[in-house]
A = this chain, B = another copy of it.
Amino acid sequence: MRKINTSPISGAQELLPEVQASFNNLKTKIAETYKKHGFFEIETPTIERTEILLAKAGGDTEKQIYKVIKTAESEDSADQALRFDHTVPLARYVIEHENDLSFPFKVSQIGLNYRGERAQKGRFREFYQCDVDIIGRGKLEIAYDADIISTLIDTYNSFELNTPVVARINNRKIIAGLLNALELTDQTSEIMSIIDHAEKVTPEQTKQSLEELKLDEKTIKNILAFINLNGERSFVIKELNNLEITDETYLEGVTELDQVLYLLESMNLSEQILADMKIVRGLDYYTGTVFEFFLPEHKNIGSVGGGGRYENLTSYFSDKSFPGVGGSIGLTRLFYIINEKGLLKAEKSTLLDYAVIPVSEHEFDEALNVAQKLRDKNYNTTAILTDKKLGSKLEHAAKLARNGIVIGEEEVNSKILKAKNFETGEENEINIEVISNPEDFWGDQI
């Protein structure tokens, strides 16, 4: 009988071993793809001084923060908290280790973050975030924005989902320049927010929201036409140029967007990218390129990752300028969705290669010896060392491994071992030397 509630805390992921293996498989693919694209992985502490975490944040973030407090009085009464993302600790890391880093610094971070969100299905309080960032010193070329996006596209591709993943890409300078040209800069944040929500409401509601800002009819029509603009590079850039806006920020944004899309095309990624004026991303620190990843066949899921360019992130920690571009995959949430919707092409088997099954205690030594020899050949191998009946041991073995090798008196004497595939029943002689069993421990003593 249970004496105590043994469930994990609410809002945290806890998986059975085979599901955990599937999760870890994706995590490994992320790490490998990030590395393949030239990112160096770092790990900052999950606990930070609160003043670091709140240097930029505030508002909702502050409410969601988990403080960390040592129970007993001690010298360690510092004001500390669990990080809520990787971006703020990265800014601290770059300033702290500036002189030991080579810029542009291509860096990845895969680890747990914590947010005290209201608990609900698919929302997590303790979750994996997998980030790539490129940080320049003083300057960072726009081509690196394409570098980040291509890395994330390749990462999603490595998951082998049975549904396509597409990056919708925009540049905030375009909308900022447009509003400038329309003399609406006073209402930038309201209009950005309406665009940000356009996908979650009907076109009529979007129109109504714009009308509530008391904009004239022509302006509303222009903005609506603008936010519905999306498609491949050549089309979208032509349309944007056709608007004949001469605002410098606007033109800069269009050129940057054009460059980023062009470079992604050079990498043969045309089919997984789309220019889309609806993408603005709510967070306020983005200053240029912004992008979000979507599954076009599962529109209701919304974004499964995203990022953008930020020019000023380290400004809270240092006077120097470190512009950056970055993106992030929320793995815990994505994995939850993947499982709920059955999006993995084929579940990789998480079974071991071999289970070695001694018939009785007398063959424990032989079994462990054979298991060790299989491991030396890089096979994942377990030995079933229980004192149960053979049938029960085989049943346990079939749950753990693809192949079973039974070792009894006969096998020890004949020195011939057979591996049986549990699924097909097929038997194969395997070439592993059986030790000559100089002393039988259990024979002597039990």
Interface, chain A (partner B; CB < 8 A): 1-18, 20-21, 23-24, 35-38, 40-49, 51-52, 55, 62-72, 74-76, 78, 80-82, 92-93, 95-97, 100-104, 106-107, 112, 114, 116, 118-119, 125-126, 136, 139, 141, 143-144, 146-147, 150, 154, 255, 258-259, 262-263, 266-268, 316-320, 350, 352, 355, 361, 364-366, 368-369, 371-372, 375, 378-383, 385-387, 396, 399-401, 435, 441, 445
Contact = CB atoms under 8 A, between A and B. Distances in A.
A249 to B, nearest CB: 17
Given A6-B317, A76-B119, 18 more contacts: A1-B318, A4-B316, A6-B318, A7-B96, A9-B48, A13-B45, A17-B40, A35-B380, A36-B378, A66-B71, A71-B116, A74-B118, A102-B400, A150-B372, A262-B365, A263-B364, A263-B368, A266-B368
A80 B10 CA distance: 11
Nearest to A445: B255
A116 B262 CA distance: 52
A148 to B, nearest CB: 11
A381 B45 contact: no
Nearest to A54: B71
Contacts of A3: 316-319
A81 B283 CA distance: 30
A12 B47 contact: yes
Nearest to A385: B143
Given A96-B6, A116-B74, A266 B52 contact: no
Contacts of A36: 375, 378-381
Nearest to A124: B45
29 contacts: A2-B95, A2-B318, A3-B317, A4-B55, A6-B96, A7-B96, A9-B49, A13-B45, A14-B45, A16-B42, A16-B100, A17-B40, A20-B41, A20-B43, A36-B379, A36-B380, A38-B355, A38-B371, A38-B401, A65-B70, A65-B71, A67-B69, A136-B386, A139-B387, A141-B386, A143-B368, A144-B385, A263-B364, A263-B365
